[in-house]
Copies of this chain bind each other. A is one copy, B any other.
């Protein structure tokens, strides 16, 4: 198998050489890429820095002479992403392994994030510890981060072992047979703790019907990862049951959607259902950190670090307008399914987050805004009631049939 190795060969050439030799001794083919610019490469690269710079439309000599560190680094990141993406398009990437400090990790993980989920991506990093956050490195992908413990500054008993393990890990991961794809239909569902009973009921029913279900947490990252997998063609149907991230995007909560959220399914044309599950709360920090303007609202402390704040009628109407706009702009069979008795666990008659006016603002906006092309289904049940799950699955099966008919006649 072909294993891409990324590391700056001026400062970390010896360590990259060690990983290369490990890959060879495990019986595989290393492809060394050098995005370094500082000094002379300590070992030869298969894809040297000149080629990386050229992919970004730059020249190494000019980048070095320019003396603008930020610009040079951005150019090398850009080039590296392009080089690795092209290699992947040619089928020449069975796995990627890289090592680096802060800058090396930023560069190599940028290239990893450009690869689809499922291609092994192993990053040995000095900065995978302490107060660093995962987000900038991992993004929405299945990136494997290994803390190097010691500085990557020469080989010794500890670094040799960690680097050899990283090489063994990527080779082992690359040897995993691709999961039998296409055998079962993969249906995505979005979920949160406060809609889990509904999600579990739908999942069970879909699995009984022979589908596979993949759940994404509505924490911003989950929704974005799902959209990317839909665009990659991995997912054949969507029940967007808990699009909470839309509310946080529109009104400044802690886990906002990316602005392109809820577009992919409509673009690809797979069956798509949207319910208003947990669009009825805004996520904020512990009680002391809830914005003053929201403190008079109904609130629930969900965990020690998170408070759920109830949305008001204007906000629910805005969320409905956003969702209706997305559904109207889609191309496949799609439906809005609404549980009239409440949108999340504590938004149910008699519970603290129940607000009929706010719920109805969503319903009425949806009735008004939704294009006739999109099915609108109102169910006299709560989002977590079995009856709602059954109605949602029935709607999904109708959309699926419509998609199948369309496929036959088109």
* A129-B221, A158-B234, A172-B169 known; A144-B141 Cβ under 8 A: no
Nearest-Cβ distance from residue A232 to partner chain B, whole angstroms:
11
| A149 vs B117: C-alpha distance when bound (angstroms) | 8
Q: Which residues of B contact A220 (CB under 8 A)?
A: 130
Nearest-Cβ distance from residue A379 to partner chain B, whole angstroms:
23
A216 close to B (CB within 8 Å): yes
Q: Which residues of B contact A307 (CB under 8 A)?
A: none
Q: Which residues of B contact A328 (CB under 8 A)?
A: none
Nearest-Cβ distance from residue A47 to partner chain B, whole angstroms:
25
| A268 vs B130: C-alpha distance when bound (angstroms) | 27
Which residues of chain A in 131-160 are interfacial with respect to chain B, using CB atoms and an 8 Å cutoff?
131-135, 138-151, 153-160
User: Cβ of B164 and Cβ of A179 under 8 Å apart?
Assistant: yes
Which residues of chain A in 90-113 are interfacial with respect to chain B, using CB atoms and an 8 Å cutoff?
none
Which residues of chain A in 164-207 are interfacial with respect to chain B, using CB atoms and an 8 Å cutoff?
164-165, 168-173, 175-181, 184, 186, 191, 199, 203, 207
Interface size for chain A: under 10, 10 to 19, 20 to 34, or 35 or more residues? 35 or more
Q: Which residues of B contact A179 (CB under 8 A)?
A: 157-158, 160-161, 164
A126 close to B (CB within 8 Å): yes
User: Cβ of B142 and Cβ of A144 under 8 Å apart?
Assistant: no
A8 close to B (CB within 8 Å): no
Partner of A120, one of B139, B151, B153, B165: B165
* A129-B221, A145-B145, A221-B129 known; A156-B213 Cβ under 8 A: yes
A64 close to B (CB within 8 Å): no
Of the listed residues A140, A142, A180, A184, the one surrounded by the most CB atoms of chain B closer than 10 A to its CB is A142
| A180 vs B155: C-alpha distance when bound (angstroms) | 12
A346 close to B (CB within 8 Å): no
A219 close to B (CB within 8 Å): yes
| A162 vs B175: C-alpha distance when bound (angstroms) | 12
A222 close to B (CB within 8 Å): yes
A20 close to B (CB within 8 Å): no
A-B contact pairs, 17 of them (CB 8 A): A118-B158, A118-B162, A126-B217, A128-B138, A129-B138, A130-B133, A132-B135, A142-B146, A153-B191, A153-B203, A155-B212, A156-B212, A156-B213, A161-B178, A168-B175, A169-B169, A169-B170
